[in-house]
Chain A
């Protein structure tokens, strides 16, 4: 059917062209579109501009592979399983990537502004910090602030003109080409139902010019519309859909599977160097497709991550020492 939104993982990755700006669903090590990130790496995408409310394994995989020129966000790491982003850190040290730092709330409000069609957001956060140091405007220093997709200023200050509340920070809307989402369920027409915390997914999907949703399962649209009050993202905000079970691994998904901490720990430990990253990528990305990846993980590992259906998280995964 010509109006179907269904595409394949390969097609989804092809939509993200070199030089695109990208954002993702999820929060740190939860619900990241990893299968699609691996496919972008297999297709050797270059020059990406990541604009993220917060980073995580998806950032580290893409940055390590050399796909990213600009990272605009506030945080990257693997939580308990890797204390910072070793690949980003290495590339910053080698001046191989541009980093634009905002605070977490500033990034969130930038997406909320874009999602509501406003050119900027106003907030009172982070006043007095080096986030607002004019010397540290990385994209400005690089001459990239053209006022088109990248704002003319990193931020501006203003005094509240309405109630006299004092200094306010204005931050530009996050203009993003593509949002890659990873969720539990999507309907044939694009309606998304996220279970659990929805993080900044509604803002990300609406802010981006094009939204691709990868779901654990594609379900009948009619099923989601029976209880429309439980849905998270509107059908017409979604351009393309695809089904990809375990697509967020090694990140976790509420109600489906836990974070694979051992995998992230291994990734963090082994990818401090570029050689280490390249070897990791040869082992887990190149020469595999998604089914090959799952086969390599194996049933016992996947079952240990599988969420208990009453609790929505795994009771079998080893978390501590």
Chain B
């Protein structure tokens, strides 16, 4: 029997990330989508294993089924096919009310407890580089049951101490003192979960929800657990590796490139050898 999985030369890293993200989505879930690759991933899930997922765009589109990929969540392409086109008040109050199962987010830095930074590099009061700021990252991460981060893997980005905790991980700061506590203690009745996975350009990482610590789950094709541990500034747990990240199937690749993102807005096509 020939495998439906594509061979390594048939897909790029963006394809692999997109499919790994798509497989985090379960059918019937309500999913909060940010701009970029996650949008393609969710729409891919919608067209494959999760036809009943409900999509929320932060700018106000609720239960969206866009016929064409939007370039951002404010895009005029979000509205058509949706249950409602509304505004941020609806999107955020629905999220705070507890409807959201899964959110996809990005980050510039992540620590071993899943705290993510998108605000600045260096001292906040005199930063080396000011980034975009939080956007809805901490909100979706506070409200959803699970969040999945998609990140470029560079050693400096996988750090024991992020410059600024923009988005809360499993062990966070209790203000005004700043003591580190488990997220469950701080969120009380509003606790629903937290970061479930980080999908980087090297592998897929998950979290032990009790200790809050990150561990390596799967390595992308061609990477070893030891190599990936070397790519982190913190001491990465590689004792729980379950194998290699599954490659895209040919059907997933066809959907990505012929149906979802034919304009190559987010996912470039690999050159045929």
Residue from the list B76, B120, B128, B175 in contact with A258, Cβ < 8 A: B76
How close is B8's CB to chain A, nearest CB, in angstroms? 22
B133 at the interface (CB under 8 A from A): yes
Are the C-beta atoms of A255 and B76 separated by less than 8 Å? yes
Main secondary structure of the interface of B (DSSP, over half): loop
B183 within 8 A of A: yes
Q: Which residues of A in the span 18-41 have a Cβ within 8 Å of any Cβ on B? A: 26-31
Q: How far is the CA of A54 from the CA of B72 in the complex (A)?
A: 14
B79's partner among A77, A130, A253, A312 (CB-CB below 8 A) is A312
Interface size on B, residues (CB 8 A): 70
Contact A76 B133, beta carbon cutoff 8 Å: yes
A-facing residues in B146-187 (Cβ within 8 Å): 164-168, 172-176, 178, 181, 183, 186-187
B135 to chain A, nearest CB (A): 4
- Which of A74, A85, A157 is within 8 Å of B175, CB to CB? A157
Flag whether A118 is at the interface (Cβ < 8 A): no
Q: Which residue of the partner chain B has the closest CB to A126?
A: B138
CB contact under 8 A between A133 and B175, given known A199-B88, A321-B264: yes
The answer to whether A92 touches B76 (Cβ under 8 A) is: no
Please give the distance in Å from A237's CB to the nearest CB on chain B: 15
How many residues of chain A get a CB closer than 8 Å to chain B's CBs?
Answer: 77
Q: A28-B72, A196-B76 are in contact. Are A130 and B187 (CB under 8 A)?
A: no
CB nearest to B136 among chain A residues = A104
A128 near B172 (CB under 8 angstroms)? Answer: yes
A200 located at the interface, meaning its Cβ lies under 8 Å from any Cβ of chain B in the complex: yes
Closest to B169 in A: A128
For residues 62 through 90 of chain B, which have their beta carbon under 8 Å from a beta carbon of chain A? 68, 71-80, 85-89
Min CB distance, B153 to chain A, in Å?
Answer: 17
Interface residue B251 (Cβ < 8 Å from any Cβ of A): no
Q: Is B270 at the interface (CB under 8 A from chain A)?
A: no
Known: A27-B73, A29-B74, A252-B76. A104 touches B187 (CB 8 A): no
Q: Is the CB of B60 within 8 A of A166?
A: no
Q: How far is the CB of A142 from chain B (nearest CB, A)?
A: 12
> What chain A residues lie within 8 Å of B120 (beta carbons)?
92
Q: Which of B245-273 contact A (CB under 8 A)?
A: 261, 263-265, 268
Q: Which of A242-260 contact B (CB under 8 A)?
A: 252-255, 258-259
Q: Chain A interface (Cβ within 8 Å of chain B)?
A: 26-31, 53-55, 73-77, 79-80, 83-85, 88-89, 92-93, 95, 99, 101-106, 108-109, 112, 123-136, 157, 160, 163-167, 196-203, 252-255, 258-259, 261, 307, 311-313, 319-321
